[in-house]
Amino acid sequence: MRKKRSFSTILTTVVGNLFKQPVNVTISTVSLRILYSFWWLFVTLMTLSYGAVFLSFLTVPLREKGVQTVMELCQAVKIGSYKALMPKGSSLLQFLIESEHVHLHELGESIKKNNWFYDTREK
């Protein structure tokens, strides 16, 4: 005598199985055993891969903190981790070099010394 199950009961069991809940189903035929074996293998691989991807997002930072201020840019240029590019012929370079602020002056000198210019007409 087979017990009939409703669609909602089967769906609840399948979704619960995705969350590693036990399946309380009586398997009477070989075809059902094969089906449940493949389903168990699929659920195991899905949960393991989800856990691995989730763990990788938690352990590896997505990106580094960028430069937020001109002072940070000056320090980053000084240690060599960033470049400060300027358009060729810009009057901003002269402003930086003649600035009373030491960090702006150093930034302008670094741009001039390393020839960090780009041509706005090039693509």
Q: Is the pLDDT of residue 1 over 60?
A: no
Q: What is the pTM of this model?
A: 0.49
Convert 63-90 to b/e letters by CB count within 10 Å (16 or more is b): eeeeeeeeeebbbebeeeeeebebeeee
Beta carbons of 23 and 48 less than 8 angstroms apart: no
d(CA 5, CA 12): 11
Q: CA-to-CA distance for 97 and 78, rounded, in angstroms?
A: 15
Q: What is the pLDDT of residues 54-94, one digit of tens each?
A: 888 888 777 778 889 989 999 999 998 899 999 988 889 89
Residue 87, classed as helix, strand or coil, is: strand
